[in-house]
Amino acid sequence: MAKQLHIETVGCQMNVLDSELVAASLVRAGYQLVDNPRKADVILFNTCSVRQHAEDKIYSALGRLKHLKDHHPERIIGVIGCMAQKDQGLIFRRAPHVDLVVSPGQLGRVPEVLERVAAGAGPQMEVSLDRTWAVRLSVERSFLPLDPSQRAPTRPARHQALVRIMFGCNKFCTYCIVPSVRGPEQSRPVDEIEAEVRQLADQGCLEIPLLGQTVNSYKHRAGERTYRLSDLLDRLNDIEGPRRLKFVTNYPRHMTRDLIEAVRDLPKVSPYLHVPAQSGSDRILKRMKRGYTAGAYREMLAQIRQTVPDAAITSDFIVGFCGETEEDFQQTVDLVRDGRFKNSFIFKYSTRPGTKSAEKYADDVPYDVKRRRNNGLLAIQNAISLEDSQSFVGRTVEILVEGPSKTSLKRAETGPAVQLAGRTVCDRIVVCEGDRGLIGRVISVEIYQATAFTLFGRFQ
């Protein structure tokens, strides 16, 4: 019987894609995917290290897996992803029942590592070189991309597929662990991306989010020509089949005019822009080493609004960064009020060992203050999101139907008529009653009610 594989994924869309590609490589090697970890011969945990809280949750989840190993000692448990690069051998010490640790830049090795473990070679670890020690070229080579071809058998949604256009990050914002766990920034060749998108188009894929840690710094040299993200979008826009192209996450300083105009001019590019501001205080932005001022960020917003008036703009903010005063925080509040973001993700600063801010600054904002600032900012943003959502009531929007809604799944609806969930071109979530046959189609829906994060509509 084929070996059963279960993959648990936490964290961002990069991890979702990595899990999909690891699963595809193992399915090719003869494994079968299962939802239930109890039925699995191999359990892989794809992990995140962006905040302490995420790591704590992963270590306790790993602890809970121990009894599954006690019952079946031959079962293989692996930790892959960002925490594997950050904690390396520490993982074996904290969770001795773990058999393998493989970092994001080494995921292509998972099948062979699994074979070694199964053959009785004992705990195995494959991680990339440390960026601070090794020379650039060998570091780059140690962060190897996963092969995205032949991924079809395990793609979770037929009509949507994530496509990575670049790896890693070179920004080294002082709070962020990503540059050390995901390695140096490397853009994929245009031709390779185009071929992947064509393949997905042939498979009936309608929506393609292009992924990169700083996606809009994409740059690829081919002969005489240098391709920017706007040039890549121009190429992909011509491919028949896909209806929507998106790109996440943007770095404010690279939100250049050519890119904003590409969003305006290319019909398939969604007017949806996630551009994290992180703070509204120049003093804090400088400490974060973000490379722009709040004023420059505001100018960028104004340029987007002027060029693409109906764009949905979203942001990330960190509250309670080292040395953040009440006045600094008020400047962030002002930016959220003025920015009119569709929504914002708000995080409490979490110090990450190995980052510049952990080394240089005291994590001196008390937890209670971080929490108060987080809740305060969230309340302001939520009120804006609600107003924004309510402006849709009475309007008809196009949605790509993704599947049964969460409510439908909770109710365990089984008939053909279910509550469906989909998204507008601007990434707004819409639910409506309809037939399962509509899943994967683009339909028109009239909105009759709205909460901050969901629009309720009638299928026309």
Interface with ligand SF4 (CB under 6 A), residue from 26, 65, 176, 277: 176
Question: Pattern 20-39, binding to ligand 5AD, x per CB under 6 A?
Answer: --------------------
Q: Give yes or no for residue 95 binding ligand SF4 (CB under 6 A).
A: no
Which of 92, 205, 108 minimizes the C-alpha distance to 156? 205
Q: How many residues bind ligand SF4 (CB under 6 A)?
A: 10
Binding partner of residue 92 among ligand 5AD, ligand SF4, none, CB cut-off 5 to 8 Å per kind: none
Residue 190 and residue 221: Cα distance in Å, rounded?
9
Burial class for 262, CB neighbours closer than 10 Å (0-12, 13-18, 19+): buried
Burial class for 39, CB neighbours closer than 10 Å (0-12, 13-18, 19+): exposed
- Count of CB atoms situated within 10 Å of the CB of 221: 11
Of 19-27, 91-99, 147-155, 344-352, the segment contacting ligand 5AD by CB under 6 A is: 344-352
Q: How many residues bind ligand 5AD (CB under 6 A)?
A: 12
Interface with ligand SF4 (CB under 6 A), residue from 3, 109, 171, 286: 171
Cβ-based neighbours of 146, under 8 Å, separated by 6 or more: 18, 21, 22, 25, 107, 108
Nearer to ligand SF4, 25 or 355 (CB): 355
Interface with ligand 5AD (CB under 6 A), residue from 227, 272, 349, 456: 349
The structure tokens 């909460």 sit at 451
Phi, psi of 337 (to 5 degrees): -60, -45
Q: Give yes or no for residue 181 binding ligand 5AD (CB under 6 A).
A: no
Residue 158 and residue 160: Cα distance in Å, rounded?
6
Could you say which residues in the range 199-228 bind ligand SF4, by CB under 6 A? 213-214
Question: Pattern 266-285, binding to ligand 5AD, x per CB under 6 A?
Answer: ----------x-x-------
Phi, psi of 238 (to 5 degrees): -80, -10
- C-beta separation of 210 from 246 below 8 A: yes
Interface with ligand 5AD (CB under 6 A), residue from 58, 107, 166, 176: 176
> Residue 44: CA atoms inside 13 Å, Cβ hemisphere, count?
30
Of 157-165, 347-355, 400-408, 435-443, the segment contacting ligand 5AD by CB under 6 A is: 347-355
- Residues at the contact surface with ligand 5AD, assessed by CB under 6 A: 50-51, 175-176, 276, 278, 316, 318, 347, 349-350, 352
- Residues at the contact surface with ligand SF4, assessed by CB under 6 A: 169, 171-173, 176, 178-179, 213-214, 251
